[in-house]
Amino acid sequence: MMDAPLLPLFILLTSLLAAPILFALPERAAKLRTAINLGMAALKVALVGSLSLKVSQGVIYDLRFEVLPGLEFKLQADPLAILFIALSAVLWLITTVYSVGYLEHGPHRARFFGFFSLCVAATVGIALSGNLFTFLLFYELLTLATYPLVIHRGTAEALRAGRIYLIYTLAGGLVLLLGTLGLWVLAGTTDFVPGGILADMAAENRLAAQLLFVVLIGALGVKAALLPFHRWLPIAMVAPAPVSALLHAVAVVKAGAFGIMRVVYEVFGIETAQALGVTAPLAALAGVTIIYGSLKAITQDDIKKRLAYSTVSQVSYITLGVALASPIAAVGALAHLIHQGLMKITMFMAAGNLAEGLGVKRVSQMDGVGRAMPGTMLAFTLAALGMIGLPPLAGFVSKWYLAQGGLEAGQAWVIALLLGSSLLNAIYFLPMLHRAWFRDAAPEGAGAPGRPRIGWMLAAPPVTTAVLVLVAGGFANAPFSPLEWTRFIVAIEYQE
Amino acid sequence: MSIEISPMILAVFVPLFGAIAAFVLTRVAALIGLATLVLTTGAVIWLARDVLAAGAIVLPLGGWGAPLGIDLRADGLSVAMLALTSAVGFLVSIAALDSLKGADQVRQRQYFWPLWLLLLTGMNGVYLSTDIFNLYVMIEVIALAAVGLTVQSGSRAALQAGLEYMYASILGALLFLMGVGFVYLQLGRLDFAGLSGAAPTGALVAALALIFVGLALKTALFPLHFWLPAAHANATAPASALLSGLVVKAALYIVLRLAQYMPFPSENLLTLVGLMGAGAVIWGGVQALRAERLKLLVAWSTVAQIGLIFVAFARAGELGLTESWKAAALLILAHGIAKAAMFLAAGRIKDEIGHDVIRDLDRTPIRPTLAQFTFALAAISLIGLPPSLGFIGKWALMEGAMAAGYWHWVAVTMVGTLMSVAYFSRVFAGFLRFDRVRAPLGEHQGWALADAAPLTLALMAIGLGLLAAPLLSFLEIGYPFGVAP
């Protein structure tokens, strides 16, 4: 069978080539810009669909060229890459629709969509990276492409947030460079290989391997918002709503979590990592982050801040599932990569709609918003219940597998942790739902009744993703569901 | 006796005749300048093809040959430096066409082209020389032209800075010449090959140390950098781009070249060089953080980046010397391209806004977005973010230091990188802040010739990183470092 060996490259180029075109378009060419944005996003979804089909049939894509002697730029489409790339392609399409609606009359749209495209290109590159060196290239590109998006509004507050974001992520990137170099010097390769590449070296020089693990996971933990490197995330929520949605659901935070997966599974290998004794502390750190994020979320009145701390907590589920070193927990972790993305993007888009349509930005202003914006709030409610872990929503599925994995790994504390976290989730989400649905709207001020004016481009995306939350949970066992794909990956990573 | 036409001859003499012609025929100086650059670039391409096909080429002038006559020699490294000079020089010339077109800039135009072509003569001469006396002559030519370019804007500050530069340059050349004299007394010959076979006596090492200090002055290695910031910050934009992007590289190249033939100094001396570099990285960074004007900030970043190149020399001690030059060469090329782009972009920003006070960059309704974008791209390479050539250079530097267990040089590189992020992000914040502007924003979105040149340079600096493997194998042609040919 004849394949298109350049398919991964084309997927990367759909957004990488769109960026300069979008930059060069004049501000007023809004229709053309929208056409390019949506066209490229739709094309990418189609290409990713065809790539997934091929990869599920066992085709391996591998594209490389030498950057320095022995050091390769390498793109590779394996099942793990597909998982992440499919998430980003689908959510990019939806977020693009949302952004077009959101920024309809805002300034600097050419710049915004240019960097938006670069950001997605970086995410795709991260997904397709075949070695840590290539991963590093795209990881840094992601930082550079998101910075102008975070400070898009150009206010003093946005610039302060941007500065903090840049300090954290670039420092993290520099440490990742250090770790990548260390890996290169120690192992002579940075390739991602199921089962890892460090088994021999770790046996020889245990301390160096442990140190390398700390450096790499610490660097990736910055973007994954792992305690104590999470501080940038709640501050960066000054970004426009679609940016926050993308940051929390697909791009930055997920890039960190995805990197942790690659490093644990395919650089160290889960057995080597366990033998080094580094997985248990990582699991503990993830556990602490889960509880800490939830506790902080409870105290936030600003909706986006509350959601941001909730992300700190929820993304660490992924790290926890990886660190538990049990195949079942790994299924939960990988599924959560998708599920958390769907749920969190729904909530951020809903929060954006509340701010745009009603001027509601705080939890205390949410009285009666359910009646004013039923579609948006229904979507929000589904996502929130999913986060809490109500069956049969997506969040339940991942928590179920994580809990089982905890039992399998003989770590019963995970059950308590998950129950506690679900309880905390309920404590900070349910009051929002209660206000929205069961309280009367304030007679005046933000959230006052009156027809909110948001177009379909703002209203439809959160509803769509909320439906996906329902589908991903309810049909978790269907073929091609995230969960099924996840099992396929885990079988590879655990070399069963 | 007829001299065979060789691209090496052309690369030196075409710019020389161009300089004379541009000096005499002032009305068409720009045209002569461009034509000269096209011809010189053609000669370099010709030479590159020859070197690719045949390896290093030696051309005895007048048929005498070393050690009596003058040899010209081209290998991968020298052709790479020639190519850097032509490519950057050509693009800077295009930018200069636009930025020096004002009616009040007649005198500036009049001096710019002959001086710049003279500079090109000197630099191409340096990259093809094979003996240290020839090098001395060429660096004097460069110094003459470079000082002229510094004061070309005619402002008081530029004259002051140019004077300081001249003193530093004369002193540096004097030290270099003394070193050359001592080498001659010791060995009785001045060609590179003669150096490589010599026994490292105390007197010879002292002579080479004099040469090194002279070069350090010329390339502004900390703590001998005092003249550079003012000189580079006060020249016109194209002149700054040439001075920072190309001129300081000539002295760096000589260090790199002599290191090939010199007896190994000693671990301690090498560490001292690295420490001077580290001092430059830190001090240049601190000053760039404090600089109030954009061009001054860029100039201080040159001090820091040159320091980093010296750290690359020292990065792996004696064992790594045969490899260290590659990291240094990559960093030299990366800095040459990116810094020229950045100075041109800074000049554009200054022209459009009317000032270059960093603190007030965000108070103007005029936003030259393309120049700002170019500045940011150049900064990516200078900071060393992937996939730029600057990143690859840093990667090579840190890889060697790490493999040798020299963690202090890794730490210096990381600190320098973080500092460069800090000082460049001061500038970005000014580009991207909008809430201070009262009037509606008038974004400058048109394409000007003067924008196209720096943008091309910046894109080169970023894109060449992905071509580092072929670049390195080209650099190694005819240049088995550590084993003198």
**Nearest alpha carbon to residue B217 among B166, B288, B272, B268:** B166
Cα dihedral across residues B87, B89, B90, B94: positive or negative: positive
pLDDT for B154: 83
Instruction: Find the mean pLDDT for residues B426-445.
Output: 72
Instruction: Find the mean pLDDT for residues A127-134.
Output: 94
Question: Which tens digit of pLDDT belongs to each residue from B288-343?
Answer: 999 999 999 999 999 999 999 999 888 776 667 777 888 999 999 999 999 999 99
Strands B366-367 and A71-77: unpaired
pLDDT for A310: 92
Does residue B210 register a pLDDT over 80? yes
pLDDT for A443: 65
Q: What is the C-alpha separation between A65 and A72, in angstroms, rounded? A: 5
Q: Which ipTM value was assigned to this complex?
A: 0.89
CA-based nearest residue in chain A for residue B431: A154
Does residue B446 register a pLDDT over 60? no
Instruction: Find the mean pLDDT for residues A199-214.
Output: 89
Q: Measure CB to CB from residue B421 to each of A67, A69, A170 and give the nearest one.
A: A170
pLDDT for B408: 92
Q: What is the C-alpha separation between B355 and B378, in angstroms, rounded? A: 20
CB spacing of A159 vs B398 below 8 angstroms: no
- B403 vs A contacts (CB less than 8 Å): 185
Q: Does A64 touch chain B (CB under 8 A)?
A: no
- A162 vs B contacts (CB less than 8 Å): 429, 432
CB spacing of B435 vs A156 below 8 angstroms: yes
Chain A, window 84-123: residues with a beta carbon less than 8 angstroms from a chain B beta carbon: 107, 111
Question: Which tens digit of pLDDT belongs to each residue from A12-58?
Answer: 888 888 888 888 888 888 889 899 989 999 999 999 988 888 888 88
Residue showing tokens 């057995």 = A271
Q: Which of A218-227, B169-178, B304-313, B356-365 has the lowest mean pLDDT?
A: B356-365
pLDDT for B345: 94
How many interchain CB pairs under 8 A, A with B?
76
pLDDT for B121: 96
Q: Does A162 touch chain B (CB under 8 A)?
A: yes
Q: Does B396 touch chain A (CB under 8 A)?
A: yes
Q: How much is the mean pLDDT over chain B?
A: 88
Best residue of A174, A183, A186, A222 to probe chain B, by most B CBs closer than 10 Å: A174
Look up residue A57 and give its two tokens: 């049939």
Q: Does B411 touch chain A (CB under 8 A)?
A: no
CB spacing of A178 vs B398 below 8 angstroms: yes
Does residue B475 register a pLDDT over 80? yes
pLDDT for B450: 77
pLDDT category at B485 given cuts 50, 70, 90 is very low
Q: Does B402 touch chain A (CB under 8 A)?
A: yes
Q: How much is the mean pLDDT over chain A?
A: 88
Work out the minimum CA distance from B403 to partner chain A, whole angstroms. Answer: 6
| Residues contacting residue B435 through CB under 8 Å, at least 6 positions apart | A153, A154, A155, A156
Q: Does B289 touch chain A (CB under 8 A)?
A: no
Percent of chain A topping pLDDT 90: 45
- B322 vs A contacts (CB less than 8 Å): none
Better-scored residue on pLDDT, B109 or A218: A218
Structural element, H or E, at residue A75: strand A71-77
CB spacing of A144 vs B380 below 8 angstroms: yes
Work out the minimum CA distance from B387 to partner chain A, whole angstroms. Answer: 6
Does residue A4 register a pLDDT over 80? no
pLDDT for A289: 95
Question: Which tens digit of pLDDT belongs to each residue from A274-308?
Answer: 999 999 999 999 999 999 999 999 999 999 999 99
Question: Which tens digit of pLDDT belongs to each residue from B66-82?
Answer: 566 688 899 999 999 99
Question: Which tens digit of pLDDT belongs to each residue from B83-103?
Answer: 999 999 999 999 988 877 776
Q: Measure CB to CB from residue A154 to each of B396, B399, B435 and give the nearest one.
A: B435
Q: What is the C-alpha separation between A49 and A32, in angstroms, rounded? A: 25
- B425 vs A contacts (CB less than 8 Å): 163, 166
**Nearest alpha carbon to residue B59 among B119, B115, B13:** B13
Rounded to two decimals, the pTM is: 0.92
Residue showing tokens 């649905």 = A437
Q: Measure CB to CB from residue A171 to each of B380, B418, B466 and give the nearest one.
A: B418
Cβ neighbours of B28 (radius 10 Å)? 13
| Residues contacting residue A90 through CB under 8 Å, at least 6 positions apart | A45, A468
CB spacing of A66 vs B469 below 8 angstroms: yes
CB spacing of B435 vs A155 below 8 angstroms: yes
**Nearest alpha carbon to residue A243 among A158, A364, A368, A127:** A158
Better-scored residue on pLDDT, A410 or B47: B47
Percent of chain B topping pLDDT 70: 92
Q: Measure CB to CB from residue B432 to each of A68, A137, A154 and give the nearest one.
A: A154
Best residue of A73, A138, A140, A143 to probe chain B, by most B CBs closer than 10 Å: A140
CB spacing of B414 vs A178 below 8 angstroms: yes
Question: Which tens digit of pLDDT belongs to each residue from A451-482?
Answer: 566 788 888 899 899 998 888 887 877 777 78
pLDDT category at B3 given cuts 50, 70, 90 is low
Does residue A63 register a pLDDT over 50? yes
Instruction: Find the mean pLDDT for residues A111-134.
Output: 92
Question: Which tens digit of pLDDT belongs to each residue from A332-369?
Answer: 899 899 899 999 999 999 999 998 888 888 998 888 88
Question: Which tens digit of pLDDT belongs to each residue from A391-447?
Answer: 888 888 889 999 999 998 888 899 999 999 999 999 999 999 999 998 887 666 554
Q: Does B322 touch chain A (CB under 8 A)?
A: no
pLDDT for B319: 67
Does residue B265 register a pLDDT over 80? no
pLDDT for A177: 94
Instruction: Find the mean pLDDT for residues B354-373.
Output: 84
pLDDT for B125: 95
Q: Does B60 touch chain A (CB under 8 A)?
A: no
Instruction: Find the mean pLDDT for residues B21-42.
Output: 92
Best residue of B392, B397, B409, B434 to probe chain A, by most A CBs closer than 10 Å: B434
Q: What is the C-alpha separation between A406 and B77, in angstroms, rounded? A: 59
Work out the minimum CA distance from A424 to partner chain B, whole angstroms. Answer: 38
Q: Which of A56-60, A131-135, A327-331 has the lowest mean pLDDT?
A: A56-60
Instruction: Find the mean pLDDT for residues B215-220.
Output: 93
CB spacing of A178 vs B418 below 8 angstroms: no
CA-based nearest residue in chain A for residue B411: A178
CB spacing of B433 vs A159 below 8 angstroms: yes
Better-scored residue on pLDDT, A483 or B379: B379
pLDDT for B405: 87
pLDDT for B44: 96
Q: Does B386 touch chain A (CB under 8 A)?
A: yes
Q: Measure CB to CB from residue A67 to each of B392, B418, B443 and give the nearest one.
A: B392
Does residue A94 register a pLDDT over 80? yes
Instruction: Find the mean pLDDT for residues A224-231.
Output: 89
Best residue of A67, A143, A155 to probe chain B, by most B CBs closer than 10 Å: A67
